[in-house]
């Protein structure tokens, strides 16, 4: 974890937002029992983003249980 933090401090990565939603996981409940969370991050350096490169991130549909 320390090496990962060192890399983050050195590169200052940017978290790229997804194009089709905010949360990657939810407990499939409704109302006040619903829980949703963003578990994954898509990181890129500012240098990569400033180049003329097309990128996009999206959340894939859940096809079954995560257990």
Give, for all 67 residues of the chain, the pLDDT tens digit.
Answer: 999 899 889 999 988 889 998 888 888 899 999 999 988 888 888 888 888 878 888 988 877 776 6
Q: Are 12 and 5 in contact (CB under 8 A)?
A: no
Which DSSP string corresponds to 1-66? Answer: -HHHHHHHHHH--EEPPPSS-S-SEE-S--GGG--EE-----EE-HHHHHSS------PPPP-S--
Q: What is the pLDDT of residue 67?
A: 62
pTM of the model: 0.62
């Amino acid at each position: 974890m320390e090496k990962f933090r060192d890399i983050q401090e050195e590169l200052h990565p940017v978290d790229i937002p997804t194009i089709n939603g905010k949360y990657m996981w939810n407990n499939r409940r409704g109302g006040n029992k619903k829980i949703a969370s963003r578990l994954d991050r898509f990181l890129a350096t500012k240098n990569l983003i400033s180049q003329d490169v097309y990128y996009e991130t999206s959340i894939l549909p859940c096809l079954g249980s995560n257990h």
